[in-house]
Chains A and B, each alone.
Chain A
Amino acid sequence: MDTNRDLKRSPRSEFVAGVRAELPILLGVVPFGMIYGALAVGAGLSVGAAMAMSSIVFAGSAQFVGVQLIHAGAPGMVIVFTTFIVNLRHILYSASIAPYLAQLSHRWKWLLAYLLTDEAYAVTITRYNQESASAVKSANRHWYLLGAGLAMWSTWQVSTAAGIFLGAQVPSSWSLDFTIALTFIALVVPALRDRPSVAAALSAGVIAVLAFGLPYKLGLIVAAISGMAVGLWVEARLLSTGRRHERGDSR
């Protein structure tokens, strides 16, 4: 019943839902974008280059690191390679969302890949996983990612420009950056329904803290991959004990 209704979700309603889901996290993105803008101009980038980096690269952490390296006079190849390392975690995003986008045309894939930031990925994959858990298949679900992605994109461009021209105007005492972590908490915690995901989340979190000292966000990807490995191991153990139970073994 629900499934049939969901199948008829229009592109427009998916798009609007994506924009709305993205709104809370944007509260934290605005001060982040303004700090980037102020930092980029302070590091000696022209207004045009500082703005262009936000649309050409469109990756907050990599832009921060890039601007600092440019300011320090690092060689271009080093900066490009560092960008690669800092953004490596997006391979995981790309892989985990790919099955949901497999039916799309090349044009859609090319567009949505450009919009695949941490923030847009987090809300979209949560939605897609919920849908697939309840056996819902919405033919227009790519519009949801488009809505979340464009909301994030426009906010990033505007807040970057604001930071370039006005400086970082949001006082850090407001702690608005905390809304990003809170949104991720709101998305992850309800999804921890089974032991493998709990194991993956806890071990990834602990390893992220232990590996925090690694440069260029490498700790993040090490933690994520270790967490996934632990989650898979728990899943495999659950399956093998389940099979033994089916065969009537005592343990």
Chain B
Amino acid sequence: MNVWLLLICMGLVTYAIRLSMIGLIGRVNLPSVVQWALCLVPSAVLSAIIFPELLMPKGTLDLSFGNLRLLAGALAAAVAWRTRNVLLTIGVGMVALWVLQAVFPH
């Protein structure tokens, strides 16, 4: 397949997925079960991204204290819970990771 045709097909497939529900769901009211389910999407999807990032930074499960991303991420989660401040959460998490990496170099 010609590379430009391939790019256009990849783009169309991606765009169709992104537009799918935005285009379909009109002004009608959704059933309440569906509304509940949709409210859970961010918590479910983002956690499904976060957990492997923290628990398996090198591709395998690592629950040890040598897993610096898990330690920094747990600290960041505590900050997020207490302060609800996005910038502070990111700042504390990033500084924690840098400090841990400096103290425990691999």
Q: Which residues of A contact B (CB under 8 A)?
A: 21, 24, 45-46, 49, 52-53, 56-59, 62, 66, 70, 75-77, 79-80, 83-84, 87-99, 101-103, 109-110, 112-114, 116, 118, 122, 125-126, 129, 173, 175, 178-192, 196-198, 200-202, 204-209, 212, 219-220, 223-225, 227-228, 231-232, 235
Known contacts A98-B24, A181-B73, A186-B76: does B97 contact A175 (CB below 8 Å)? yes
CA distance A207 to B45 in the complex (A): 11
CB pair A224–B48 under 8 Å, yes or no, is yes
Q: A49-B4, A187-B46, A197-B40 are in contact. Are A94 and B52 (CB under 8 A)?
A: no
Complex-state Cα separation, A71 to B80, whole angstroms: 41
- Given A118-B49, A175-B97: A188 and B43 within 8 A (CB)? yes
- Is the CB–CB distance between B39 and A209 below 8 Å? no
Q: Is B25 an interface residue (CB 8 A)?
A: yes
Q: What 8 pairs across the A-B complex have the smallest Cβ distances?
A: A76-B1, A205-B51, A227-B44, A186-B89, A56-B11, A96-B41, A208-B48, A189-B80
**Does B11 contact A57, Cβ atoms closer than 8 Å?**
yes
Shortest A67–chain B CB gap in Å is 11
Give the complex CA separation of A205 and B81 in angstroms: 17
**What is the chain A residue whose CB lies nearest that of B49?**
A184
> A162 to nearest B CB, angstroms?
20
**Interchain nearest-CB distance for A230 vs B (Å):** 9
Complex Cα distance A66/B36, Å? 35
A-side contacts of B77, CB under 8 Å: 185, 189
Contact of B56 among A49, A101, A189, A209 (CB under 8 A): A209
Known: A99-B30, A232-B33. A94 touches B18 (CB 8 A): yes
Contact A209 B51 (CB under 8 A): yes
Whether B103 is near chain A, meaning CB under 8 Å from some CB there, is: no
CA distance A180 to B69 in the complex (A): 12
A-B contact count (CB 8 A): 250
Known: A102-B27, A204-B44. 11 other contacts (CB 8 A): A46-B3, A58-B11, A87-B17, A99-B38, A113-B15, A116-B22, A129-B39, A178-B93, A186-B80, A208-B52, A232-B36
Q: How far is the CA of A113 from the CA of B23 in the complex (A)?
A: 9
**Contact, CB under 8 Å: A197 / B43:** yes
Q: A224 and B15: CB pair below 8 A?
A: no
* Residue B31 CB within 8 A of the other chain: no
Which residues of chain B are within 8 angstroms of A219 by Cβ–Cβ distance? 48, 52
Q: Tell which of A49, A59, A204 touches B47, judged by Cβ atoms closer than 8 Å.
A: A204
Given the known A-B contacts A129-B42, A182-B89, are A94 and B54 also in contact in the complex, defined by CB atoms under 8 Å? no
Contacts of B46 in A (CB 8 A): 122, 184, 187-188, 201
The answer to whether B22 touches A188 (Cβ under 8 A) is no
